[in-house]
A and B are shown apart, each in its own frame.
Chain A
């Protein structure tokens, strides 16, 4: 975890993150500046108990708009990482992470996929090339 709640302390509560947030326009229950406010108040537990942290699309618009250059998206990563470690994350999050740790790819290439690729005039991709074995071990050990 590279960021801490201190990295959110300069928040002005101006709401520019929220007013530029596509997810907020679609789902008003996702309020980035409220989450940042909870973090600055030391209420990390309250912010991670909100399921809404998982609604973030990680588009980074909030971070780009922030006049204080607060890394809003990464503050949410910090909350997600903490939530994940406390077992408070949706199933898909751990499933995707496990796939990457096992295969070192989100979509491993099978024989069927390679047949499709060859039909499209593309080279075969080895599912587990020798060069990937070490990384699979590294990730598997984590």
Chain B
């Protein structure tokens, strides 16, 4: 059985354990052994340590890559921030050997060494490349029945592209998630704001009103151009904005519609036969319409 290290990061196990449930479910269904990383740390995300202390960031990030190397496995994550930070830290250490040396000087005190063998994937690329669309199709139990999906890949699943081992042919015209949704039986058209930032991350911590305003601009485009059944999100941080952010905007009476939102692994888990109560246990926006459509209703 194929093995992969499940890098959960901070957000998923704390804020949205239903994404973790779904990730474990689909890996099992697809015949992949999910290896846990005991002692994993924060990635840490771009808005935190990388902005303040490059060495501290590299030491914290590389810690997770050392854990993967010790187990002889590669990693997969459902969080775009983790995907970006881990890959960027690895890229920085490869392109600046003095940084790698500094990190290893720090690690030597505790008997560790960063070698940089492990690769870091996200669930988009893992499903698209390591599993493959045909293998996913073969496992579908609940066809999405034409469910119209507005896809949000997430900035850090695309960029900084120089740091990534695998990526879209054109990062400003992402197709991989759309093709995965289609393999599950959904429809996933392109829309003009597909690569726009959702406003999550440091902006949400620093200026919540601006962050939500940026998100609403994107959501309005999605509503106007696609009017989808669901937003399908490739990053757990973006999902917090798409699900929780809509709830906040509704509370502030700044949003007069709602579009359900799920992470790509949650939608995949639904299509692969998982129970919706577990897959979307912590979703704020009801999924009744989505479930009816999958079951063949309107």
Interface residues of A (CB under 8 A from B): 1-2, 22-23, 25-27, 54-61, 63-64, 71, 73, 76-77, 80-81, 84, 89-90, 92-94, 96-97, 100-101, 104-107, 109, 113, 116-117, 120-123, 125-126, 129-132, 134-135, 137-139, 142
A55 touches B206 (CB 8 A): yes
B112 touches A134 (CB 8 A): yes
A55 touches B38 (CB 8 A): no
Q: In the assembled complex, how far is the CB of residue A30 from the closest CB belonging to chain B, in whole angstroms?
A: 10
Since A54-B202, A122-B24 are in contact, a sample of 15 more A-B pairs with Cβ atoms closer than 8 Å, ordered by chain A residue number, is A1-B54, A22-B214, A57-B197, A57-B202, A61-B159, A64-B172, A71-B160, A81-B51, A92-B205, A96-B48, A100-B44, A106-B45, A117-B17, A120-B18, A139-B56
Could you say which residues of chain A place their CB within 8 Å of the CB of B59?
A: 135, 138-139, 142
Could you say which residues of chain A place their CB within 8 Å of the CB of B201?
A: 57-58
B278 touches A23 (CB 8 A): no
B206 touches A90 (CB 8 A): yes
Knowing A2-B96, A22-B214 touch, does A81 contact B15 (C-beta < 8 A)?
no
Could you say which residues of chain B place their CB within 8 Å of the CB of A63?
A: 159-160
Asked whether any CB of chain A lies closer than 8 Å to the CB of B1, the reply is no
- The list of the 6 closest CB pairs from A to B, nearest first, reads A131-B39, A60-B159, A107-B14, A59-B155, A134-B110, A58-B46
Q: List 11 A-B contacts (CB under 8 A).
A: A2-B99, A57-B201, A59-B156, A81-B53, A105-B42, A116-B17, A122-B13, A122-B21, A131-B39, A132-B40, A138-B106
B159 touches A105 (CB 8 A): no
| Contact-residue size bin, chain B (C-beta under 8 Å from the other chain) | 35 or more
Could you say which residues of chain A place their CB within 8 Å of the CB of B21?
A: 120-122
Bound complex: CA A84 to CA B172 (Å): 33
- B56, B158, B195, B214: the one contacting A23 at CB < 8 Å is B214
Contact indicator per residue, chain B 192-204, by CB within 8 Å of chain A (1) or not (0)? 0001110111110
Bound complex: CA A122 to CA B217 (Å): 36
Could you say which residues of chain B place their CB within 8 Å of the CB of A129?
A: 38-39
Could you say which residues of chain A place their CB within 8 Å of the CB of B196?
A: 22
Knowing A54-B202, A77-B51, A142-B56 touch, does A107 contact B214 (C-beta < 8 A)?
no
Chain B residue nearest to A119 (CB atoms) is B281
Could you say which residues of chain B place their CB within 8 Å of the CB of A116?
A: 17
- B52, B160, B278: the one contacting A97 at CB < 8 Å is B52
Could you say which residues of chain B place their CB within 8 Å of the CB of A94?
A: 52
For chain B, what secondary structure do more than half of its interface residues adopt (helix, strand, loop), or is it mixed?
A: helix
Q: In the assembled complex, how far is the CB of residue B291 from the closest CB belonging to chain A, in whole angstroms?
A: 19
Q: Which residues of chain B in 73-127 are interfacial with respect to chain A, using CB atoms and an 8 Å cutoff? A: 84, 92, 96, 99, 106-107, 109-110, 112
B155 touches A104 (CB 8 A): no
Could you say which residues of chain B place their CB within 8 Å of the CB of A130?
A: 39
Knowing A26-B210, A81-B54, A116-B17 touch, does A135 contact B10 (C-beta < 8 A)?
no
B49 touches A104 (CB 8 A): no
Chain A residue nearest to B85 (CB atoms) is A58
B205 touches A107 (CB 8 A): no
Knowing A55-B210, A105-B10 touch, does A135 contact B202 (C-beta < 8 A)?
no
A142 touches B53 (CB 8 A): yes
Asked whether any CB of chain A lies closer than 8 Å to the CB of B47, the reply is yes
Bound complex: CA A1 to CA B42 (Å): 20
Asked whether any CB of chain A lies closer than 8 Å to the CB of B55, the reply is yes
Bound complex: CA A132 to CA B54 (Å): 20
